[in-house]
Structure 1
């Protein structure tokens, strides 16, 4: 039965012809362009020295913070300026407010367009507003940081009148605020 083997011989012949036609010159691998760029360096081995972090350092809770919400809250609780009848601006002109000091202060001005608005000091104990601290804290224009400590704040009184410009120190005595010094400049 010579005809019985013919289809299998035919299939074998075709398979051989196909395989012969797919030499190395026709393969997909041979037609794919080769990468000519240099190889990437291997990843660095971990070390005990860490790279600098791009995240910011945590805020210092004892740093001066003139944008603290406690300031705006305290200023909103103040009675209006007796001279202009206006409320006080919550943005301090000067200050050393922080939550760690026994006493700190901010200077605010009346919320008016007057050329020389009234100013006053607002005192704090460990970040808490001291509403009954000192009866008259009007007229202070700044803080003398060189004379401030954790329990004493030195406020500048600049009236513009010679001999009436001075420095007034307020001290936290453990239970309240007392005036400990008034120096004319």
Structure 2
């Protein structure tokens, strides 16, 4: 009975004058409508990062093995300068039986000496290679996994000469000369 009396007292304590609705002013026609809240910005898409290593069987003229090899070569016989480690051409490939890079003497001469550096499975071939001085390009159309076609472009005649080298299983051999 006490609980019922307390509940009635609570209900009667709030009169119509205490209502929140009675204290809230009504909207007038001249009041501007509230503007809708701006849409949230679209989510930022972050491309997935790939942790896949680069393909070792792709041509890579920035391979560390090239710079290492070039740093160990004897100096250019004409200028007595070392060799620039940045190839001017090439098809270096760790998986190829034979690949090459063309480098130039590290000199400011107008026509620096050039040479090809040959690799077997990504490793420098230091001996048993025919003379490779003077080449200035690789003919990729005539090169295969075991054959490198080196170009010599003559500025005088405008014709390219192509010399092919092939890995024969134990070393490099000269197999063709066209021009």
CA–CA separation in structure 2 for the residues paired with 1:162 and 1:123 = 27
CA–CA separation in structure 1 for the residues paired with 2:170 and 2:13 = 102
Question: Could you tell me whether the CA contact under 8 Å between 2:147 and 2:167 is conserved in 1?
Answer: yes
Q: 1:25 aligns with which of 21, 24, 28?
A: 21
Structure 1 equivalent of residue 169 of structure 2: 174
Q: Secondary structure at the match of 1:72?
A: helix
Aligned pairs (5 A) from 1:21-170: 23=19, 25=21, 54-55=48-49, 58=52, 59-160=54-155, 162=157, 166-170=161-165
Structure 1 residues 179 and 26, CA gap change in structure 2 (3 angstroms) = farther
Q: Secondary structure at the match of 1:74?
A: helix
CA RMSD of aligned residues (A): 3.5
CA–CA separation in structure 1 for the residues paired with 2:78 and 2:57 = 35
Q: By how many angstroms is 1:102 displaced?
A: 0.3
TM-score, normalised by the number of residues in structure 1: 0.71
CA–CA separation in structure 2 for the residues paired with 1:100 and 1:177 = 16
Structure 1 equivalent of residue 28 of structure 2: none
Q: How many residues align?
A: 157
CA–CA separation in structure 2 for the residues paired with 1:115 and 1:138 = 17
Structure 1 residues 26 and 79, CA gap change in structure 2 (3 angstroms) = farther
- Between 12-21 and 147-156, report the one with greater CA deviation: 12-21
CA–CA separation in structure 2 for the residues paired with 1:108 and 1:19 = 96
Structure 1 residues 130 and 20, CA gap change in structure 2 (3 angstroms) = farther
TM-score, normalised by the number of residues in structure 2: 0.73
Q: By how many angstroms is 1:133 displaced?
A: 4.0
Q: By how many angstroms is 1:62 displaced?
A: 1.4
Unaligned stretches of 5+ residues in structure 1: 1-8, 28-33, 41-52
CA–CA separation in structure 2 for the residues paired with 1:115 and 1:127 = 31
